[in-house]
Amino acid sequence: MIRFALPADAAAISDLYAPHVLTGTASFETEAPDTAEMAARLARVQGKGWPWLVWDAGDILLGYAYAAQFRDRAAYRATCENSIYVAAPAARQGIGRALLTALFDAARAAGFREMIAVIGDGGGNHASVGLHGSCGFVQAGHLTNVGQKFGRRLDIIYMQRSL
């Protein structure tokens, strides 16, 4: 059920991501990217040779995870940041862990050696902190009040895992 994303997945990926943007605090985006924008993001990641995985349940995508270089400057080339989203109705069924575990191998194959999770609403995002902690990440930093969404000021937590 886990496979690399295809360009044709862009609409399903944007549909999956939109509720997280519009109702959640894990993403610091406030406007959901449309299909064209998601297609551009997917093309950029894959064009760089970086992995973008989806959980394909046959007629619907229930999750996705990708890795992209943590920061643009060249010396960061072996360090990636991951992004992972699971559809809310499919939460806590093991999809996140399966995607993230598969992403480790794919990211390593792409040349990455360190993975950073930048967890939005870190103090309140028990699911993401729990997922990453259960997959071998350790906390590497905590920035306070760096985001603002829904009238709240939000922290981010950095977690890191060697690949």
Give the interface segment with ligand COA, choosing from 19-27, 31-39, 101-109, 143-151 (CB under 6 A): 19-27
CB of 155 to ligand COA, least distance (A): 13
Q: Does residue 142 bind ligand COA (CB under 6 A)?
A: no
CB of 62 to ligand COA, least distance (A): 8
In sign, the C-alpha dihedral spanning 41, 36, 60, 131 is positive
User: What are the DSSP calls for 133-163, one per residue?
Assistant: HHTT-EEEEEEEEEEEETTEEEEEEEEEEE-
Q: Which is nearer to ligand COA, 82 or 110 (CB)?
A: 82
Q: How many binding residues for ligand COA (CB under 6 A)?
A: 22
Q: Does residue 108 bind ligand COA (CB under 6 A)?
A: no
Q: Which residues bind ligand COA (CB under 6 A)?
A: 20, 24, 26, 84-86, 91-97, 117, 119, 125-128, 130-131, 134
